[in-house]
Amino acid sequence: MRNFLRDVVAFLKPYKKAIWSGLIAAVVAAWPLVTDGHVSASDVATIAGAFAAGAGIVYKVRNGEVTVGQRKAE
């Protein structure tokens, strides 16, 4: 079991930033939706969409230094 968890963590490591931002977006979207005490299917879809949008946008942004108006040569 310990090796399996280590393999999963190693697999997900390149996506860590995207996963965290997706979770943060999902929590921010879920907060007002679940405070009324009723979670509908559309609420779940909104939360899942927020996670996907937050993770997808951050995944597309490159890591590294970017200057304003220019991208550094690699």
pLDDT digits (tens, 9 = 90+) for 42-69: 999 999 999 999 888 777 766 665 556 6
* Phi and psi angles of residue 66, each rounded to the nearest 5 degrees, phi first: -130, 125
- At how many degrees (to 10) do helices 41-60 and 16-34 cross? 150
**Tokens (6 digits) for 32:** 């007002």
pTM of the model: 0.69
Identify the DSSP state of 1: -
Structure confidence at residue 1 as a pLDDT band (50, 70, 90): confident
- Is pLDDT of 41 > 90? yes
In a domain, 37, yes or no: yes
In a domain, 47, yes or no: yes
Q: Averaged over 4-30, what is the pLDDT?
A: 89
Answer yes or no: are the C-beta atoms of 22 and 51 closer than 8 Å.
Answer: yes
Q: Provide CB contacts within 8 A for 24, sequence distance 6+.
A: 54
In a domain, 56, yes or no: yes
In a domain, 20, yes or no: yes
In a domain, 22, yes or no: yes
Residue pointed to by tokens 């393999």: 7
Q: Quote the domain boundaries for residue 31.
A: 14-64
In a domain, 42, yes or no: yes
Q: Specify the higher pLDDT residue, 18 or 50.
A: 50
